[in-house]
Structure 1
Amino acid sequence: MTVDAHDDDPLIRRSYYEATVTRPAADMPLQGAARADVCVIGAGFSGLSAALDLRARGFSVTLVDAHEPGWGASGRNGGQVLVGFAKDDPLVDQLGDDAMRAWRLSVEGVGLLRERIAKYSIDCDFTPGYLTVATRSKRVPELRAWMDMVEQRFAYPHLSWIDDAHDRIDSDRYLSGVHDSFSGHVHPLKYCLGLAAAARRAGVSIHAHSRVTRIVEGAKPVVETVQGSVQCDFVVVAGNASIGRVLPRVHDRIAPIGSFIIATERMDAERASSLVRDRAAVCDNNFFLDYFRVSSDDRLLFGGRATTAFMDPQAVAPALRERMLAVYPQLGDVKVEYAWGGYVDVTRNRAPDFGRIAPNIYYLQGFSGHGVALTGIAGRIAAEAIAGQAGNFDLFARIKHRRFPGGEALRRPVLELGFLYHRMKEMFGT
């Protein structure tokens, strides 16, 4: 028996994304013993991307997911399609001159998303344009320094400096900003379901409601689920924040951080378009950032409010609406119709964590808020590695990561103390 995605998780019972898609009939759960060249765990962006590229290379692929395609972060996120990484310092410090290769792969990730939208005719409302903006004068030189570094070190040609953010955003909250004409935003669940449909057509065997209980390592690994198993030559673990104890050796190198989004009621098209020029996506450069965009059906989607604790999105919605009104006080008469949330898989250094737990078992995690585009290229380089071309995958595997302190019992309290420290710094402008 399947479970409707709206009712399975209180975090997405009032998801705008779920309300604006028509899911196909659920894929059947895995039952009994199966065999494939590769078993992919997780039907989100990275798992589906790996599956598509593996099939293109001639591998048989079985993909299992505890829920349905796009049920996790891939179907709940802010939809912002970004080049780069959450932080560039770890790449520069650890990879040296090879940091440019990693950065260019992130750019390829945005290009891959655009390519797949066209190739598979995925109707997912992609809109080009992305604005990073500063809310405080001390953050302006930091933002300018970042732009100069990206242009000079990574030779990225799509950025332009904005002296007065008010020229682009109808708000007095922001000072200066950077416009990226290549990045943009997308309806993430529509895109994910489009990838799943393409994977099915390519011959990927997708099994929903097939939670993995363990991976038996060996020359022919076995992925065991609640009702079945897959014997294979290779495994790609792409469950990110929801993979739990299946990856005990590396799972404590990520922390699941809750993030929440609200969507307003539909507005007049002219009013909606006035909020952000050309309907670019927007994000500020604070530690606890706000991000927002105007949807294709003339709503404002506004997100933020990071936490390590479970919170009901309906309880968070009033606070998010207050933050929205701090940006756009002119929307005081506009109702909030949707509120939902999910978990971002964040590493301590906020660099992606790709690697192997055995020579034939690959994992992809730690996208740290940059996953919409980066997941796609992550799946591709995992497929390349399985096919014998591991150079790009091993580049990322060189990045060293530290575990979060406190173990299972104390991890959340320790993280909340860290959050409190940064909230105090931002509150007092330090």
Structure 2
Amino acid sequence: MTATSPTEHIASWYAASANPAPSRPPLEGEINCDICVVGAGFTGISSALHLAEQGFDVVVLEASRVGFGASGRNGGQIVNSYSRDMDMIESRYGTETARALGDMAFEGNRIIRERVAEYDIACDLRDGNLFAACNAKQLKGLREHKALWERYGHQQLELLEGSAVKREVNTERYTGALVDHSGGHMHPLNLVQGEAAAFESRGGVIYEQTPVTHLKHGDPVQLTTPGGVVRATRVVMAGNAYLQGVVPELEGKSMPCGTQIIATEPLEAERAQALLPNGLAVEDCNYLLDYFRLTADNRLLYGGGVNYGGQDPNDIEAVIRPKMEKTFPGLKDVGIEYAWSGNFLMTLNRLPQFGVLNDNVYYAQGYSGHGVTCTHLAGRLIAEVMTGRDERFDAFAGLPHLPFPGGRMLRVPLSAIGAWYYETRDKLGV
């Protein structure tokens, strides 16, 4: 985490509506611990909580605030599986790898629900999400998607075609949809803050405003911060798209990408229900997808787009509002009260990157837009590998970490060209 990271949450609806949470002091002085976790987002806090439950002495270092990055800014959707599904994994990496990852594809969802129940976390958790098809090709893909997930044991799916879509989304835009009744949505900043409080209740310590400026490999690993030093037997690097300059070998095979979200003014309850009658979260099937849902106070939260390299557009509302109005033309008169962006970390094969450096520095990153559930799985797997159960962690660690074509200088323009190609195909329905 860099020393120049902002010190407070961005001005999002999540930050404005967050539950009260303490401001934790920065590290001052020198300390020792069993495990040091770098980054207090979902990956870091999930790892820290699982490890604390196993009895480890765990310290978390966060450059800004708990949930400052993608974990406190995302669309809040609980979407199963990974950014690339098991059919692609099977074709590229074999049936054994696909079966191993497939057996874990729906576990992160369950972990979230277990955490909310066990620690009584108030995060507006609601059931159900759906994938929306914009054309006949995408609808065909949803039929195949349903069959694939059912082959891997996931049965809580329902395919809607034609006018049946309006049961869930009141728009003319979609030709079909796949409802995942086991999915859902929630307030992500409240979730990660609730999990952080659960970690602290287990004896864990979080230092905010504490960027790591230098990591020295060894036994113990030494992490230097502006105000102190941590010596740890093992380390978990969990900064994701906001980890910069500390471990360069983790940066060359991934790329930060920005996505933008707007939140409307509160809608009258009847008007909100008319948009999404059963309150499901929605994402479409385009390569550069739109995603949206209703919040607990009846705002429509609408996101979309990708900025490769993670740069923010000058006017977020100007980018996202036309997408919202294309889906819901009746919202042209609605005011927008919040607009924000955040970075996720994309990998070339769109699969997460797990691994270990120098035998005692572990990492999990690169969820490529499907991080809410997979980060929670990552925390469990990191706790497993540190207690001698490495099979499931190694199933991910064995995946290749591929460099982007053109290296760090050309990865952004080349990715943008590729995205333009797929976006054009989406528009043409081919």
TM-score, normalisation: structure 1:
0.94
Deviations 1:315-374 (A, max 9, x none): 021221111010001111211110001111111111111111121110010111111111
Q: Distance in 2 between matches of 1:256 and 1:174?
A: 30
Shift of 1:226: 2.1
Q: Which moved more, 1:403-412 or 1:365-374?
A: 403-412
Q: Which position in structure 1 is the counterpart of 2:161?
A: 163
Q: Are the equivalent residues in 2 in contact too, given 1:313–1:340 (CA < 8 A)? A: no
Shift of 1:99: 2.0
Deviations 1:82-103 (A, max 9, x none): 1111111443231513423322
1:397–1:348 Cα change, 3 Å: same
Deviations 1:113-165 (A, max 9, x none): 0010011111101111011010012211112111111112x111111111132
Number of aligned residues: 423
1:398–1:22 Cα change, 3 Å: same
Deviations 1:149-189 (A, max 9, x none): 1112x111111111132232100000111110001111100
Q: Distance in 2 between matches of 1:414 and 1:427?
A: 20
Letter in 1 for 2:316: V
Letter in 1 for 2:302: F
1:73 aligns with 2:81: no
1:52 aligns with 2:45: no
Letter in 1 for 2:157: L
Unaligned runs of 5+ in 2: none
Deviations 1:205-224 (A, max 9, x none): 10011111222112211122
Give secondary structure in 2 for the equivalent of 1:211: coil
- Counterparts of 1:138-287 in structure 2, within 5 Å, are 138-152=137-151, 154-164=152-162, 165-287=165-287
Give the % identical residues: 38
Q: Are the equivalent residues in 2 in contact too, given 1:158–1:182 (CA < 8 A)? A: yes
Deviations 1:260-314 (A, max 9, x none): 0000000111211121131000011110100000111101000002112555466
Give secondary structure in 2 for the equivalent of 1:253: coil
Q: Which position in structure 2 is the counterpart of 1:17?
A: 14
Unaligned runs of 5+ in 1: none
Q: Which position in structure 1 is the counterpart of 2:117?
A: 118
Q: Which position in structure 1 is the counterpart of 2:364?
A: 364
Q: Are the equivalent residues in 2 in contact too, given 1:90–1:349 (CA < 8 A)? A: no
Q: Which position in structure 2 is the counterpart of 1:318?
A: 318
1:427–1:163 Cα change, 3 Å: closer
Letter in 1 for 2:374: L
Q: 4+ runs of 1 displaced by more than 4 Å?
A: 309-314
Give secondary structure in 2 for the equivalent of 1:373: helix
Letter in 1 for 2:282: V
Letter in 1 for 2:409: A
Give secondary structure in 2 for the equivalent of 1:372: helix
Aligned equivalent of 2:79, options 73, 77, 82: 82
Q: Which position in structure 2 is the counterpart of 1:91?
A: 89
Q: Distance in 1 between matches of 2:222 and 2:20?
A: 30
Q: Distance in 1 between matches of 2:313 and 2:303?
A: 11
Letter in 2 for 1:72: G
Q: Distance in 2 between matches of 1:314 and 1:292?
A: 22
Q: Distance in 2 between matches of 1:127 and 1:314?
A: 33
Q: Distance in 1 between matches of 2:348 and 2:309?
A: 18
1:337 aligns with 2:337: yes
Q: Distance in 1 between matches of 2:139 and 2:32?
A: 55
- Counterparts of 1:32-51 in structure 2, within 5 Å, are 32-51=29-48
Q: Distance in 2 between matches of 1:281 and 1:373?
A: 15
Letter in 2 for 1:341: S
Q: Are the equivalent residues in 2 in contact too, given 1:262–1:340 (CA < 8 A)? A: yes
Letter in 2 for 1:58: G
Q: Are the equivalent residues in 2 in contact too, given 1:351–1:366 (CA < 8 A)? A: yes
Q: Which position in structure 2 is the counterpart of 1:378?
A: 378
TM-score, normalisation: structure 2:
0.94
Q: Which moved more, 1:267-276 or 1:23-32?
A: 23-32
Q: Which moved more, 1:295-304 or 1:403-412?
A: 403-412
Q: Which position in structure 2 is the counterpart of 1:133?
A: 132
Superposition CA RMSD, Å: 1.8
Give secondary structure in 2 for the equivalent of 1:246: coil
Letter in 1 for 2:89: L
